[in-house]
Amino acid sequence: MPTSDSLISKTAIETIDLLSRGEITPLDCLDALEARISAVDKAVNALPTLCMDRAREAARAVMAKPKSERGLLQGLPIAIKDLTDVKGVLTTYGSPAFAKHIPAASDPLVERLEGEGGVIYAKTNTPEFGAGANTFNEVFGPTLNPWNTSRSAAGSSGGSAVALATGTAWLAHGSDLGGSLRNPASFCGIVGLRPSPGRVATARGAPVENLLSVQGPMARNVEDCALFLDALSGEDVRDPVSLPKPSASFLAATRSGWKPKRVAFSADLGITPVDSEVAEICRKAAYRFAELGAVVEEAHPDFTEVHDTFNVLRAKNFAISKKDLLETKREFLKPEVIWNIEKGLTLTMADHHRAETQRATLYGRTLAFFETYDLICTPATIVAPFPVENRYVESCNGVKFDNYVHWLAIAYAFTTVGCPAISIPCGFTREGLPVGLQIAARQRGDGRLLAGAKALENVLGCSTLTPIFPKQPPRAKE
């Protein structure tokens, strides 16, 4: 059997292969994770809630089944973001209002993962209700970037990204509204995929038809991410926008050898400032699609109205889903959450009409764009990891942002039009901080997106950057 350290360094697919051949057991995996968590997590605070007793019970249940009935995951441990309910496990949503909340039932996606042989062992840290792309909250404190523990891990799936980067997870679940799978992936040197809306079924509150927020996979490389999407995806009657599982697996699509013929690159999508060093790292990475035979050109859809559209739709969702919370537990909520709810409550029917009309226009323009281009590449985030004490990015290149989500526009542009998008590692800044390349495909083009990302990952050679041990900030020169 591999040693604990060598097991931690294996990919999820390699580990599942060992499980399926009986060379290791799910209990061996949990032992390895527990040792690694003890060694590294105090330095980064990625996994504030562990449920190892529950996990070992679940592992034994998987082991009692015939190998053919153990599902895609074969007993592999999975970490779940603390916005998602796990039965019997502390689930706080990052909010003091739910600091002692223990759900009586699991979210459908957790049930699906457990049905595929996934073993839930931990909850990953998140900002309050996922609001703000910096992972800190008043319940557990901040999660720190393992490449430099003075820096932000981004968010809101920051705990998941850091767990992957430090080897305390092989696969970790996340969610994404304004880049919450992609931003932390970029900051931590791992892979985060925002799949098409409905690809992963989840519990639906109000508004039921919300297509901005999705659930998705995070991993250390593209193939692991694709396998995890296979385990997550599928239709569920409890989620009225959920999609059926495709006939061919996402892992098969990733390994299909498909390569794009035309790729667009845009440093800013015409809507946001971008740090010049980040932009240049991403430009060089995107143009390496040419080594795969693709024509690479500077181009992007017209996203002129996206700020107004996204802000209205986001605020509407906050108002509908959290109005009661504002009225009963306002004192527990952070200022950004209060601002978003109150903004939503002031919206008029004219605001809703404008935003929905603009979204339809943006959707149509993007569809037309993908008639010419197979994929588009941008920076996943507009800056490198920033100091963790900064709540969010207030300005970039001399441009001051007018709210706490405006700096996320390069990610939320693709959210607004329903495109699947992925962040893959593509290089490092002069300070040694990771930079992620965002790649997006046409609506419901998840398979081709993964295939293209895998092809570029092979060229870039960035699939084995993690796991790492957390790095302290360099000492100032005396």
Residues assigned a catalytic role: 81, 156, 180
Structure tokens at 132: 């703000």
Residues whose CB falls within 8 Å of the CB of residue 309, separated by 6 or more in sequence, listed in order: 355, 358, 359, 362, 416
How far apart CA 410 and CA 413 sit, in angstroms, is: 6
- Phi/psi for 190 (5° steps) reads -130, -170
Tell which phi-psi region holds residue 231, choosing left (phi > 0), alpha (psi between -120 and 50) or beta.
alpha
CA distances from 385 to 158, 391, 432 (A): 12, 12, 10
CB atoms within 10 A of CB 357: 12
CA distances from 12 to 160, 219, 223, 227, 255 (A): 15, 8, 9, 9, 16
How far apart CA 369 and CA 197 sit, in angstroms, is: 19
CB atoms within 10 A of CB 48: 21
